[in-house]
Amino acid sequence: MKVVLFDIDGTLLRTDGAGRRAMERAMQALHGAVGDTEYRYDGKTDRQIIREQMREAGIAEDAILAQMDVLIARYLENLADELRDRPDQAVLCAGVLPLLDRLRGRDDVTLGLLTGNVQQGARQKLAAVGVAFDQFVVNAFGCDHEHRPELPSIARGRAESYLGRAIAGDQLVIIGDTPADIHCGRSIGVRAIGVATGRYSVEALAEHDPAAVFVSLEDTDAVVEAMLS
């Protein structure tokens, strides 16, 4: 059995900055600042983004914590507006649907998500590109823990509960477009596969020693082989 965990942004889909715009509107509304305009969101959890950006803006820790849930709720409202008002900005990455179809048809694969998005944000983004959320049955989200390296262990625990058996770290496979995706499961032996459909090139991802790295997910046979070998 393999538990295949997909990142969302830059791996399954792109939203042309909708998430960033929604987050910055929420931070501006609640704290009057957006932090560093050059800050990289990719590879981060939503809560991590808020905390780091608000620290950068000089907001006190107790104020950040006190407003965290309110800010997340405002962000989700803004994200829904962004995705509704500009539906053409959300696009699937190449090869995603055939790959999900292939994996879903196997009895030795369980599909899941491992993403810095909070759960409702993940749902909204997948719905915007017509990908069924319910096919991902073992998940770890940015609302489960602020630090991405904690998410693989959370996903493994949920996989064990769902499957009713122990799951070794190397039975998990993470597919993502950032070095953070490649590194986050190393402590428990997770297999990581990079895909250069985000901001990092094949060469940049390869520097982090993933099990495999692809230009895109279009070569279904090769990607599945890399996942299951």
| Structural domain spans, the chain | 2-15+90-228, 18-87
Between strands 172-176 and 191-195, the pairing is parallel
Residue 229's pLDDT is 86
User: Which phi and psi angles does 6 have, rounded to 5°?
Assistant: -100, 135
CATH code given to domain 2-15+90-228? 3.40.50.1000
Residue 87's pLDDT is 87
pTM of the model: 0.96
CA–CA gap between residue 82 and residue 91 (Å, rounded)? 14
2-15+90-228 against 18-87: fold identical: no
DSSP 39-56: ---TT--HHHHHHHHHHH
Select 18-87's CATH number: 1.10.3720.10, 1.10.150.240, 1.10.1040.10, 3.40.50.10470.
Answer: 1.10.150.240
Average pLDDT across each block of 10 residues of the chain; the chain has 229 residues. List them in order.
97 96 97 95 96 97 97 98 93 98 96 98 98 98 96 98 96 97 96 97 98 98 95
